[in-house]
A and B are shown apart, each in its own frame.
Chain A
Amino acid sequence: MEILNLEGTEDTPKIILDKKNGIFEISGRSLPEDSAEFYRPVLEWIEKYSSDSNPSTEFVFKLEYFNTASSKLILDVLSALEDIKGMKILWYFHEDDEDMEEAGQEFSELVEIPFEFKTY
């Protein structure tokens, strides 16, 4: 399966989705002008992956900041991950960033996927 690899910019996150090496990560800042357009390839990639997923998947969110339009798309990403067997979310937040910790907790209440919280 093809690797999705997007370099991060000042307003878009770095994204690596690599089935073979088991790397699934969204990190950095997310405040794109058009969040739906930006996350479309991610959602498409996950849809393909869901039909032939690894036995277990650790999906990493290591976001420094995201705007509200991105938060809706992050929920869409999580919802797409929800039906994949062996899925687990690793939600990273900076140790003094209570808002990012709380954001992760809220997402965990909106989808049926186990979340593990980690600081960096």
Chain B
Amino acid sequence: MNFIYDLHRTMMSQKLILVFQGDFTQESTKSILSMAERNLDSSGEESSIKRKVFNVMVEALQNIVKHSDELVDGQVRSHAAIFLIGKEANRYSIMTGNPIRKENVVKLKGALDRINGLDKDGLKDLYKEIIKNTTISDKGGAGLGFVDMARKSGEKLEFEFPEMNEEYCFFCLKVNVPRDNE
């Protein structure tokens, strides 16, 4: 059972304060949010930073709820997704990982690269352009989640797509919220 200790040590060394792997639904989203909120409250975090962390968490979690069921090959399904929060002296990191079909990687990477190429005003313009022209998708998204995460973070979105098998990559996303934002 050394893996328990290994996992514990990894969480400590990576400064993880919350890890959730399992079925991602609106209900689990609410539970995770309230757990994280309690954690931020009890640590006396500044309210503006708490709000930003909350904001990024909601978008990240709802992304997983909406997209992690892309897998249809039986056992993997939505259980394959993971959500993590890290807390370091100078920042919080909200991280997600979920399978994505390989044919969708190029489009997603393009959207993320576009967002990362924009400054504060550019992101604001993109947000307004999307909100004016978008309609809510079948999955309930407005196509604004990553733009909003980038705006609330104030930093570049970090992402990677390690290969899972011939059909899927694992979309890893890390969004940082600086703590010393003054």
Contact = CB atoms under 8 A, between A and B. Distances in A.
A7 interface: no
Given A10-B30, A106-B124, A106-B127, A69 B152 contact: no
A83 interface: no
Which applies to chain B's interface (DSSP): helix, strand, loop or mixed? helix
A21 interface: no
Interface string B19-50: 00000001000100010000000000001100
A57 interface: no
Contacts of B62: 31, 67, 69
B126 to A, nearest CB: 12
A34 B141 CA distance: 9
Residue from B52, B55, B135 with most neighbouring chain A CB atoms (10 Å) = B55
Contacts of B127: 106
B157 interface: no
A68 B59 contact: yes
Category for how many chain B residues contact A: 20 to 34
B121 to A, nearest CB: 12
A116 interface: no
B47 to A, nearest CB: 6
Contacts of A97: 47-48, 51
A75 B131 contact: yes
Contacts of B173: none
B132 interface: yes
A76 B30 CA distance: 25
A98 B148 CA distance: 14
Contacts of B145: 68
Interface of B: 26, 30, 34, 47-48, 51-52, 54-55, 58-59, 62, 65, 124, 127-128, 131-132, 134-136, 140-142, 144-145, 147-148, 152
Interface of A: 10-11, 31, 33-36, 65, 67-69, 71-73, 75, 94, 96-99, 106, 109-110
